[in-house]
Structure formats: structure tokens, C-alpha cells
Amino acid sequence: MSGEFIGPPWQADWSKEAEETRDTLPADGREALLAARAELVTAKDPYFRGIDSDLDLPSSMSVEPVQSTRPGGMHVLYFGRGRGWLRYHFTPRSPDPQIVIDEVFWQ
């Protein structure tokens, strides 16, 4: 299997800060966050590249790159109808592709 690209579901990891924030969210925020994470790890392309590529997401979620000039860099997934977001990057390495969630926000 060496060199073969593995598809979803992707592995996901949380930075310590994101994990701590996740653990302090109210029940509705945590539920919305976990639903967003589920959408992210099962996405065909975690960067949602292309025109209207995030149409498969529930209407309460959307994704965009942090910098439009770096479409392969950090992205933000908005969830909970805009009440929260998580910032992540995707490492598409062959042996172990992984999504790293490094920041979570809920208001």
C-alpha cells in the first residue's frame, strides 16, 4: 500500500488548545462542533476545493481558506449557523493523511 493515497474517513487530531476549548463548550456548542468534525473527516476533499465544492455540507456549515492565495493551507469550517468555527489544516501524506484542528471558537 506504500505510495497509495488513502481516502476518507480521515484521521483527525486536536491541538491542546483546541481540545481544551472543545471540552469547555456548552452541550449545544459541542454537539455542533462534533457534527462539523464528522463532516470534515468524511469529506472527499477536506479543503473543499473548486466552485461550490462545499454544497454537500449541511446548510449550517461552510468552509473557506484562511488566505485565498494559499488554497492548500489553513482553512476555517464555520458551524452552528455561524456561531462557531474551527481552524484546521490537512496533511495529505501517503501513509497517514491527517486533519489537524488547531483552534476552536464558539459564541
% of residues, the chain, pLDDT over 70: 93
In Å, how far are 42, 54, 95, 104 from 85, measured between CA atoms? 18, 15, 28, 6
Tell me phi and psi for residue 93, to 5 degrees.
-65, 150
Span 75-102, mean pLDDT? 90
Model confidence at 94, pLDDT cuts 50, 70, 90, reads low
Cα pseudo-dihedral 13, 42, 77, 37, rounded to 10: -50
Q: What is the pLDDT of residues 69-84, one digit of tens each?
A: 888 899 999 999 999 9
CB neighbour burial string for 60-72, b if at least 16 within 10 angstroms, e if fewer: ebbbebeeeeeee
Is 1's pLDDT higher than 50?
Answer: no
Span 2-6, mean pLDDT? 55
Span 2-16, mean pLDDT? 79
